[in-house]
Chains A and B, each alone.
Chain A
Amino acid sequence: MSEHFTPESQPTHPRGLAPESQPTHPRGHVVSWKVYLGIFLALCALTVVTVVVTGYDFGPFNLVVALGVAITKATLVVLYFMHARYSPKLTGVVIASSLAFFVILVFLTLTDYVSRPWPLS
């Protein structure tokens, strides 16, 4: 990458300021390419982690560990690659509601199956 990126790619708001309180501009928030590179490297590292942890047996927590790493990776993608961190609050509402309904779908389905004497013989 070259010097073209640096001047425009600096975050324009002070740390801690809510992103939606920035002055609105059609360009929106331009994130530095270094942030994307950092997220990419973090995702690669977490992919290595998810493989390495399978070398250890955490018993019933194997699935919890695997999902924990996957959720961390997904969160990084949503916040930075998909710009959720710099998006209007309404975007957050849509994301949260989709996750809420996904949890309802899986959780309520499982309450039924795990509370019955499956597999039926």
Chain B
Amino acid sequence: MTAHAPGGPAHPAPAGGHPGSARASEALQHQFTDLQQQKEATTLGMWVFIAQEVLFFGGLFAAYAVYRNMYPAAFSAGSHHLSWKIGFANTLVLIGSSFTMAMAVHSAAIGKKKRIVAFLLATVLLGSVFLGVKYFEYGEKIRPCSGDGPYAGCLVPGERFDASAVHLEGDEGRHAQIYFSLYFGMTGLHALHMIIGMPIILGIAFMAWRGRYSPEYHSPVELVGLYWHFVDIIWIFLFPLLYLIGAH
């Protein structure tokens, strides 16, 4: 931003005046001096949104910190019930999707249209794998809660919650419900972010396929990339905090 003090743009050339970029000058909105300024402004806006997201998830992380500190035994028991192998595999899948997203942004920066589309589709595919595994994990915990009982293995907090499934009873069994509330709340909010992000990525892949982006202008690819990497970072913290409590 510093290079663009009001009245003194670094590029005195007319708006979008970079050679051979008809597309790029179309992309320049009238309120910006040039594409560089537009790019920095939109990127900053995305970062401010992400800063807000940090605090949006922050409330759940704060609740987690309070209750884990209060009921360490119940959290450990609840965590041991999760399969760290599934969580581990899913972490690698999500990191892989962040890598393909980074490569999509890179392909946009060097103007490789087909690669943008391919890497964005790969990102959505890996995201789908992650959510599919999550669906399986949720199903295991939710399915026993339906019907007439005896609800053995039901891990949805509430009166049907089966504390014996995590080898707890009495007060500690009730405390484990707090762990599973946070488990569903945190992973659910994370999954919701992915569910919102994936159609947006598909839309941007479609725009890339239509040839809307160039090395000079590909902000949508960059911004959805920032969003996707942020969602990846949330999972990087959720994995050890939810799946790996205590020595295994």
Q: How far is the CA of A114 from the CA of B69 in the complex (A)?
A: 8
User: Does B246 contact A62, Cβ atoms closer than 8 Å?
Assistant: yes
What's the least CB distance linking A5 to chain B, in Å? 7
Determine if B163 is an interface residue (Cβ-Cβ < 8 Å). Answer: no
Q: Are A57 and B39 in contact (CB under 8 A)?
A: no
**B39 CB to closest chain A CB, in angstroms?**
6
Q: B98 near A: Cβ within 8 Å?
A: yes
A69 contact set on B, CB distance < 8 A? 240
Inter-chain contacts of A30 with B (CB < 8 A): 106, 109-110
- Chain A count of residues within 8 A CB distance of the other chain: 59
Asked whether B62 is an interface residue with its Cβ less than 8 Å from the other chain, the reply is: yes
* A interface SS class: helix
A83 to B102, CA, bound (A): 10
Residues of B within 8 A of A66 (CB): 240-241, 244
- Please, what's the 1-or-0 string for A93-114, where 1 marks a CB less than 8 Å from any CB in chain B? 0110111011001100110011
| Contact indicator A77/B55 (Cβ below 8 Å) | no
Output the nearest chain B residue to A22 by Cβ-Cβ distance: B3
In the complex the two chains form, is B91's CB within 8 Å of A47's CB?
A: yes
B182 within 8 A of A: no
- Choice from B43, B65, B84, B110 contacting A91 with Cβ under 8 Å: B43
- A33 near B103: Cβ-Cβ < 8 Å: yes
Q: What residues on B are CB-neighbors of A40 within 8 Å?
A: 95-96, 98-99, 102
Is A70 a contact of B229 with CB atoms below 8 Å? no
As a 0/1 sequence over residues 80 to 94 of chain A, the CB contacts with chain B under 8 angstroms (1 = contact) are 111100011111001
Q: Hey, which chain B residues are within 8 Å of A39, CB to CB?
A: 99, 102
B236 in the interface (beta carbon within 8 A): yes
Smallest CB–CB gap between A101 and chain B, Å? 6
Of B46-54, B129-137, B146-154, B190-198, the one with at least 4 CB within 8 A of chain A: B46-54
- Which A residues form the contact surface with B (CB < 8 A)? 4-5, 8-9, 20, 24-28, 30-31, 33, 36-37, 39-40, 43-44, 47, 50-51, 54-57, 62, 66-67, 69-70, 73-74, 77-78, 80-83, 87-91, 94-95, 97-99, 101-102, 105-106, 109-110, 113-114, 118-119
